[in-house]
Structures are given as C-alpha cells and as structure tokens.
Amino acid sequence: MAAGLGFKTFTSGEVLTAADTNGYLMQGINVFANASARTAAITSPQEGQYSYLKDTNALEYYDGAAWVGAPVGDITAVTAGTGISGGGSSGDVTITNSMATTIDAKGDLIAGTADNAFARLTVGNNGETLVADSSTSTGLRYQSNFAAGKNAIINGAFNVWQRGTSFTANSAQYTVDRWRISASAYPTTGTWSQQTFTPGTAPASGYEAQYFWRYAITTVGSSTDWYFGQRIEDVRTFAGQTATFSFWAKADTTRTIAVGYNQNFGSGGSGTVSGSVGTTYSLTTSWQRFSATVSLPSISGKTVGTSSYLEVFFQQNSALANGYTVDIWGVQLEAGSVATAFQTATGTLQGELAACQRYYVRWGGLNVYQNFGQGYADQTTTAIIQVPLPVTMRVVPTSIDFSTLNLSTGGTNTTVTNCTLLGGNSSNQIACAYATVASGLTTNRPYGLTANNSFGGYIGFSAEL
C-alpha cells in the first residue's frame, strides 16, 4: 500500500489518476461486518491499512503479516495507591478516593498519622482553634481560643474589687471594678457582693475562676428592677458589626433576666441609641452559659462627642422577691457570631488591674500608716497633696473618695476631716488632693497624706465614664 499523500481539493473537470486514488482515496478506514467479510473483500491487505469490525467494535490495522488491534494508549492497568481503592487492567476502571469516604461531616479534616497513613480529624467546636500536638495520633488537636484582647469587657471574671467586696443595695454605685448597678427603687435589705468559687467548681472548663458577683435580696420592699452593666470606652466599639455577648449565670430558683445595650455618643454627641441583646435568659439553680449575637447599629451620620461609650447591661424588670439571688460570672463581648472560650480582656491579673485603674484607682489597705502622697500646708487647716497614679487614667480624675486619713510631719499626725479634688492642679498621671484638718498645720511645711492608724484608710480617684 502506497504512502498517503495527505489532503487534496479536486477541481471541476480534473482527471482522477491512479496516483490520486492510491494516495488519497485508499487511505480511509474500511468498515466490515466481521473479520470474515473483511478477508473476503481484501484479499491482499497492505501494511498500514486500517479496518473497523462492527461485530467486535474493534479498530485494527495490517502490520504486514496480520490484522492486529490498533494502539489506543500506553496504559495497560490502573493500580490503586495510598488513599485510593479500586483499579483494573481492562474495560471500564473505577477508582475511589478513600480520603473522601473517611470524611463524615462538614469541617472534618484528613491528617497524616504515619508514613503513607492517614485518619479523620473530627471538626472542632465553634470558635476553637487548631494547634499542633505531637501526642495525638494525627499530630493535631482543637482547643479553645484563649486569645487575650478579644473580650471588650474589662474585669469580666470579677477578679478586681478595689472599692470593697460587699455593698449595701441602696443607691446607684460601682461595685466590682468597671461594673455599675442601679435601680428605680432599692430593696429594704439587699447586698451586692463578691463570692468565692470552691476550687474545682468554676463553670468554665479549662478556666479556674476565683470570684463571681452576687445580688441577694433579703427583704424586697418596693424594689421591682435592677440594671447591672459596664460602659465600654468609645461608642465606635463594634459599631456596624456583628458581636456576640456571653456569660454564665444561676439563681436561687428559676429566674429570667434580659440584656440590653446603649450607644452613648458622649457630651456634645448624637442621642443615645438603645437595643436588646437576644431575648430573655432563663436562669436555674445551676451554672449555665448563655450567649446571643447582636448587630450593633452603624454610627454613620452620627456625631461622636467626648467620653462616648458602648454600654452593655443585665436587667430584670419584674419578679423580685424576698430571698431573690442572682449570680453572674464570665462576661464576654467579642466580634463575630460565635461565643468562643471565655478570656479576660488582657489575659493576666495584673493586666486586668491596670485596665481597671484607667477608670478608678484606690490606694490603701497595705499598712495602718500607708503613705499616699506628699505636699505642703497652704494654710493652718489645709494642705495640697500630690498623689501619684499607677497608670495613666482615662481623663483627669473627676471625683475623689477617702476614709480614715491624717496628715503627718515630723512624727506629728493630724486627722483629716475632709478631702477634695483639686482638678485644676491634677493630671491623668498625678492627682492633687486638698486635705482639711481642724487646726494645727504649719503653713508651707511639708506633710504626707497617710492612713490614720488603720488598714481601712484609703484614698481613691475616679475617671469613670
């Protein structure tokens, strides 16, 4: 059989030569019903000639000695390797990805366990992070996210109590640091207090908390509500974002509380925007974690004044009674739609104390004559005292509180009867107190402000929102 000549377009009237026939027309594939029909039709096959047999659907060519199957590729078999099953050497071949069949749920991962070996790593819980751990079979594990800085609530674990540990429920006031409580009417007898966890009984796995906050009513009187919340500096906090609020709580019996928020735009700013966080929360006698996602409004078009804040608060507007008790711990506000593992705002006890002292500082309780600051007498009954502040406060302190003080010089102690804040002489790093005594000071003589022979002597400065 002659070698093919390729492709040619014949023109009208052109003579079809023998060479054209052999070079062009004889290069096609002849179709036969079976091999017998082919043998009868092609008595002298030429090397390189192709034919197609309909009974076996076979494409064959003549190799100069016999009709043989036309080559269709160089794969003679499919053999399953690591992570694959199935295979074969003829016909349709099916292979299965064994890794895919190992996965059972959304989020599952396939991880190596040894050379050419793997296993399924079950998806973790919402908010958990994946870390390397050579002690596990896969070398990986999920763990709770304890990253510091995610929680916008300062002192959410109630570790810092600079003002005291028990408060009479009779007026709006700060109790545990950064937390303010108020009511439209107060109980006849009630307390807000620090409570201590029995070791090993804190509600959060992996977090051994020390204290929680309690509201206990002995005699309810005319009280019907309460509001317990924290003002988070800067109304821009999570504005226009989705945030998740979470906390642990329990009560003396089944009680229902709610959570709300206020976007306060500060002095000279736009009006307050308020809303709720979730619906209501049903407390039982056992610790439970509650969470809700809230879309905080955008502040686009608003005017932000000075001392703006985002306030998040607990509230109860009914069902107060004698014996009423509510316990709260582990409060967290974070970006996103998932309540992750609880973590304090700073991640350390010292960090939480310093964060609290940005808003309130109290010196005292270390010894009976603890020295708070130094100054001089400007008159026989008053002295100007500078008191160093441990951190830079939010603003120059706006108020002062004190108890059991005296002015001391050269071994002479004089009881302080009043102490006011000299705001014009103060900064947010050094506060200036104006101490008053009955008499006996020497003008221009230096004096120290100390506790008056009592561990209960203290002086405090507030820059709260």
Sorted by where each begins, the domain ranges of the chain are 18-69, 78-143, 166-356, 360-462
Cβ pair 139, 131 in contact under 8 A: no
Rg (CA), the chain: 42
CA neighbours within 13 Å on the CB side: how many for 287? Answer: 16
- Separation in Å, CA 58 to CA 26, 32, 88, 180, 285: 20, 10, 20, 89, 81
Whether 176 contacts 158, CB under 8 Å: yes
Separation of first and last alpha carbons in the chain: 102
458, 362 contact by CB (below 8 A): yes
Beta-carbon contacts of residue 411 (< 8 Å; ≥ 6 apart) = none
Class of domain 360-462: mainly beta
pLDDT computed for residue 20 by the predictor: 67
Residue 119 φ/ψ, nearest 5 degrees: -155, 165
**Using CA atoms, how far apart are residues 429 and 397, in angstroms rounded to an integer?**
9
DSSP per-residue letters across 392-432: --SSS--EEEEESEEEEETTEEEEEEEEEE-GGG--SSEEE
**Tokens in use for 440?**
């006996």
In the beta sheet, which residues pair with residue 101? none
Out of 1.10.357.10, 3.40.50.1370, 3.40.1620.70, 2.60.40.1930, the CATH code matching 18-69 is 3.40.1620.70
- Give Cβ neighbours of residue 323 (< 8 Å, ≥ 6 apart): 217, 218, 252
Positions of E strands within 67-159: 67-69, 78-79, 84-88, 95-97, 109-114, 117-121, 129-132, 140-143
Residue type, 116: N
Give the model's pLDDT for residue 143: 74
What distance in Å separates the CA atoms of residue 339 and residue 248, rounded to the nearest whole number? 12
| Separation CA 178–CA 160 (nearest Å) | 9
Q: What is the pLDDT of residue 6?
A: 47
Strand 50-53 and strand 30-32: pairing? parallel
Q: Are 375 and 449 in contact (CB under 8 A)?
A: yes
Along the chain (465 residues), what's the average pLDDT of each consecutive run of 10 residues?
56 77 66 89 84 89 89 73 75 75 84 85 82 87 76 98 97 97 97 96 88 98 96 98 98 97 98 95 97 97 98 92 98 96 95 98 97 98 98 98 97 97 97 98 98 98 98
Burial (CB count <10 Å: 0-12, 13-18, 19+), residue 116: exposed
Tell the residue number behind the tokens 């959410």, with chain if given. Answer: 156
Architecture of the domain defined by 166-356: Sandwich (2.60)
Q: Which of 313, 277, 314, 279 is nearest to 296 (CA)?
A: 277
Q: What angle do CA 42, 48, 54 make, to 5 degrees?
A: 55
pLDDT given for residue 7 in this prediction:
52
Per the CB < 8 A criterion, the answer to whether 448 and 407 are in contact is: yes
Cα–Cα dist 173/183, whole Å: 10
26 is written with which tokens?
A: 């004889």
Backbone φ and ψ for 360, nearest 5 degrees, come out as -155, 135
Across 337-360, b (16+ Cβ under 10 Å) vs e yields ebbbbbbbbbeeeeebbbbbbbbb
Q: Which residue has the tokens 């509510």?
A: 326
What local confidence, expressed as pLDDT, does residue 146 receive?
A: 65
Closest CA to 342 of 244, 214, 207, 228: 207
**Whole-structure pTM value:** 0.78
**Letter string b/e over residues 206-220, b meaning 16 or more CB atoms within 10 A of that residue's CB:** ebebebbbbbbbeeb
Q: How far apart are CA 268 and CA 274, in angstroms?
A: 18
